[in-house]
Amino acid sequence: MASELIKKHLEELKSQKKFDEGMMENNVCSRGVSNHYWHLYSCGFEGSIVWNKAETKSIAWYSQEQIKKLSLEPIWAYWFRKRNII
């Protein structure tokens, strides 16, 4: 089952390009780990987004103006500011 799901997602992924990365300290996750090394990609895909409630609080497509109005977690505010999105 898991391998079928992975295969499906890889088929939907049409392009990917890493555009940033870095160590973020004091970014505590639900498992209590405070330091994470982030890899950020720009991706193109076909298909629909699927909400995994165990991994995300919400999921949707947002315009730049909509992102500016969201109550973002500090880590996402950091990345969006760094990319001049907000």
Domain identity same for 43 and 78? no
| Strand spans (E) along 1-86 | 13-24, 36-45
pLDDT number for residue 43: 84
Contact 57, 75 (CB under 8 A): no
So what's the pLDDT on residue 50?
77
7/28 same-domain check: yes
pLDDT band at 4 (very low <50, low <70, confident <90, very high): low
Whole-number Cα distances in Å, 52 to 2, 44, 64, 65, 68 = 14, 20, 23, 25, 24
Residue 61's domain comprises: 54-86
Q: Are 62 and 70 in contact (CB under 8 A)?
A: yes
What's the pTM? 0.70
Number of domains in the chain: 2
pLDDT in tens, 8-64: 666 777 888 899 999 999 888 888 999 999 999 888 878 777 788 887 888 888 899
- Supply the pLDDT for residue 10: 64
- pLDDT value for 3: 56
Do residues 41 and 62 share a domain? no
70 is written with which tokens?
């969201």
